[in-house]
Amino acid sequence: MTSALRRREGLIVITGEIGAGKTMLCRTLLETFDDARTFLSVILDPGLSVSDLLHRVLADFGLVSPGGARHPEPLTDVTRHQLVTTLQQFLASLIPLNAHAVIMIDEAQHLSPSVLEEIRLLSNFETDQAKLLQIVLVGQPNLDDVLGQPEMRQLNQRIARRFELQPLSQSEVADYIDRRLFVAAGADAAADAREDKTAEPAQAPPVQFTPPATATVANISKGIPRIVNTLCDRALEVAFERETHAIDPAIVRDAAHRLKLPVPAFAGRSRAGAGAAAAAALLLAAALGFYWWAGRPAARPSEPAERSAAPAAPAPDVAAPAATPNDRAPSHDPSPPPPQASPLPSAATAKSGSFEIAVAAFKTERRAAEVSAAVAALGLPVSTRSTGGGVWYQVVVGPFATGDEAEAARRTLVREGFADAHVTAK
């Protein structure tokens, strides 16, 4: 995005789910540019007409009075020519100053066809070296459907860059929460320092989300930053009411219920509730097995007993689920990715081996230690190892003598919020 703005590329499209941080991203990036040489017009109302759009852009660039009279719709050719000519002359005056102008339109999926056509015409302002006007269209995923319509073909062909914001991963949610707590603690420490000159700045936030709690936040919010913000804010209130500094999954679930957010069944359930559900599942499986055995046809007298049942099919090899590390490195991070565990061996080779569970891989030893402590509280054998030349810290549970023991422990971890835990061969 920064590269597209610095290269003066004309038309940029950013899509993402509601609350994914599209507008925040645009404002943050535009703030990195020199304000003295960047003219910005932000359109937050996608229901503007063509005349309102042109008037708003000219007002944001300081060319007309913000409270000036609007031109009636539809614009006459003379009126539109005057407005567009004024804008073009202003853009041409920015060339010797090495300045540039940017129009950012939020909720662009709601723009009318006439406004989209006007945007196409404005995108034609250019010199031999660069575009005079950059336009950033920000919207929900269906913006791509709007631009993909046959009548939008000319505008769609002018798009220089497309970006799609993805929800945060579980590890990114944990880092996001830690960062916001750190900033909040720093702000509180600064306020205390202003009142008491001898006060020491806070070294760590006084309130902490436990690793299972951050996993619960990630599951409930599905990685949407806006929901993470609101959910964590309510969780802090619940923790204040309960007079605790450690926020656990139960507090997060209580906050979600207050916000009427849907809570997945596996989002940090208590061990008692999870054990009851597992027991019910086992009883159901036993009942189904009994009825199947009772209802199967008996062997005919003329056939030997061993021929009455079909030979059992050989057990297939068990394949480990795809390794999805709990902490994936950002795309710009030059460090190597966390090592993936070897797949689970077949039944023929598993007898002589042992098993362990890869819970997560982290880029900081502190985060790995916190997760290890949370796993140890479940009564499971846990250890931390340095991998990737000391770049990653992997949390491992085990070893276990049999695959069944490892699988039972894995199910316990999943119920406690560690959804990425998977069994590997040691």
Domain-ending residue, one of 165, 196, 224: 165
Q: How many domains is the chain partitioned into structurally?
A: 3
Q: Give domain status of residue 215, yes or no.
A: yes
Domain-ending residue, one of 217, 235, 258: 258
**Which CATH number does the domain housing residue 408 bear?**
3.30.70.1070
305 pLDDT band, cuts 50/70/90, is very low
Alpha-helix runs per DSSP H in 143-269: 143-147, 153-157, 170-195, 211-221, 225-241, 249-258
**Which CATH number does the domain housing residue 122 bear?**
3.40.50.300
Mean per-residue pLDDT for 106-126? 91
> Are 63 and 209 within one domain?
no
Cα separation, 374 vs 194, whole angstroms: 37
Whether the predicted pLDDT of 216 surpasses 80? yes
303 pLDDT band, cuts 50/70/90, is very low
**Which CATH number does the domain housing residue 250 bear?**
1.10.8.60
Give the amino acid at 250: A
pLDDT at 325: 39
Q: Which of 67-81, 88-102, 114-128, 214-228 has the highest mean pLDDT?
A: 214-228
Q: Give domain status of residue 129, yes or no.
A: yes
Domain-ending residue, one of 165, 198, 228: 165
The DSSP-derived string for 271-305 is: HHHHHHHHHHHHHHHHHHHHHHHHHSPPPPTTS-G
- What would the pLDDT profile of 337-385 be if each residue is shown by its tens digit? 554 444 444 333 334 448 889 888 777 788 888 888 888 888 899 998 8
Q: Could you give the C-alpha distances from 324 to 204, 320, 361, 405, in angstroms and in order?
A: 30, 11, 10, 22
> Are 141 and 87 within one domain?
yes
Longest dimension (CA), the chain: 102
> Are 101 and 26 within one domain?
yes
Q: Give domain status of residue 290, yes or no.
A: no
The single residue listed with the structure tokens 């009851």 is 276
The model's pTM: 0.57
Whether the predicted pLDDT of 320 surpasses 50? no
What is the domain range of residue 202? 170-258
Among 22-26, 46-50, 225-229, 292-296, the range scoring the smallest mean pLDDT is 292-296
pLDDT at 164: 92
- Tell which phi-psi region holds residue 117, choosing left (phi > 0), alpha (psi between -120 and 50) or beta: alpha
Q: Give domain status of residue 307, yes or no.
A: no
> Are 118 and 253 within one domain?
no
> Are 105 and 247 within one domain?
no
Q: Give domain status of residue 174, yes or no.
A: yes
Whether the predicted pLDDT of 38 surpasses 90? no
